[in-house]
């Protein structure tokens, strides 16, 4: 009940302010009381209104209530959420020219279609994520040891293989079929964890879901998610 009461007081305080942060003085109001109510220093109200005597304010007059400055002890302001990613309408895919120029990579599409169907995740989303990660190249290894088409990190490989898929040992991510299988399984897991929020699932794939929830999305995460959203519109949803 205390939380509800505090929320009610905060809402009432905000509603009492008019345009431009103006407050109409009511019976019983004092500068110190208003300062406590709106979370600002009494001196800030006195200065903003050029009050010669803060003890003399009059019912019906208006006071400017300045915005409270953030202090070092305040918790960081929550980061704005990731821009949503919409499911594209069904249609023929428009593959990137670079993919069409490499038939051996285009030949991987049946793997994407198969494992996406197995795990119930849109194949176009898996394909778009893989294109962003590696350009569908199985031989790519990052400086942190992420391997293959989906750039699967070693610890992520172990988690997906053993916890999500139930194998006794990690799958070999250098094999395209294994890598795409793990990608599809992991994206399905992330979508489940984010209640179907595609942007958050992709943010979790790039940044790590725990870090995304703790720190909020990095600027690079925002770019990553936005680019994949555009790519998904090319690869389509099927």
Distance, in Å, from the CA atom of 64 to the CA atom of 124, rounded to the nearest integer, reads 54
List the chain pLDDT tens, one digit each, 238 residues: 333 333 333 344 444 555 557 888 888 889 888 888 888 888 888 888 888 888 889 888 888 888 766 666 666 667 799 999 999 998 899 999 999 999 999 999 999 999 999 999 999 999 999 999 999 999 999 999 999 999 999 999 999 999 999 999 999 999 999 999 999 999 999 999 999 999 999 999 999 999 999 999 999 999 999 999 999 999 987 6
Instruction: Output the pLDDT for position 143.
Output: 92
Distance, in Å, from the CA atom of 229 to the CA atom of 236, rounded to the nearest integer, reads 10
Instruction: Output the pLDDT for position 218.
Output: 95
Q: Which domains does the chain have, with CATH numbers?
A: 2-64 (3.10.350.10), 97-235 (1.10.530.10)
Which position has the token pair 């293959």? 148
Please provide the size of the chain in residues.
Answer: 238
């Amino acid at each position: 009940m205390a939380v509800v009461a505090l929320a009610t007081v905060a809402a009432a305080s905000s509603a009492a302010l008019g345009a431009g942060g103006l407050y109409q003085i009511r019976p019983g109001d004092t500068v110190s009381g208003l300062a406590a109510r709106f979370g600002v220093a009494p001196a800030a109200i006195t200065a903003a209104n050029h009050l010669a005597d803060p003890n003399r304010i009059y019912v019906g007059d208006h006071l400017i209530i300045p915005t409270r400055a953030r202090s070092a002890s305040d918790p960081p302001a929550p980061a704005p959420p990731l821009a949503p990613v919409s499911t594209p309408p069904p249609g023929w895919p428009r593959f990137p020219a670079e993919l069409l120029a490499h038939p051996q990579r285009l030949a991987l599409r049946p793997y994407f279609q198969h494992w996406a169907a197995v795990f119930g995740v849109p194949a176009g989303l898996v394909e778009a994520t893989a294109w962003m990660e590696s350009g569908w190249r199985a031989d790519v290894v990052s400086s942190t040891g992420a391997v293959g088409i989906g750039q699967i990190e070693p610890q992520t490989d172990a988690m997906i293989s053993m916890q999500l898929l139930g194998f006794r040992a990690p799958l070999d991510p250098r094999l395209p079929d294994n890598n795409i299988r793990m990608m599809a399984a992991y994206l399905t897991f992330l979508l489940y964890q984010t209640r179907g929020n595609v942007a958050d699932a992709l943010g979790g794939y790039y940044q790590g879901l725990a870090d995304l929830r703790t720190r909020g999305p990095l600027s690079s995460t925002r770019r990553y998610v936005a680019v994949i959203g555009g790519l998904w519109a090319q690869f389509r949803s099927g």
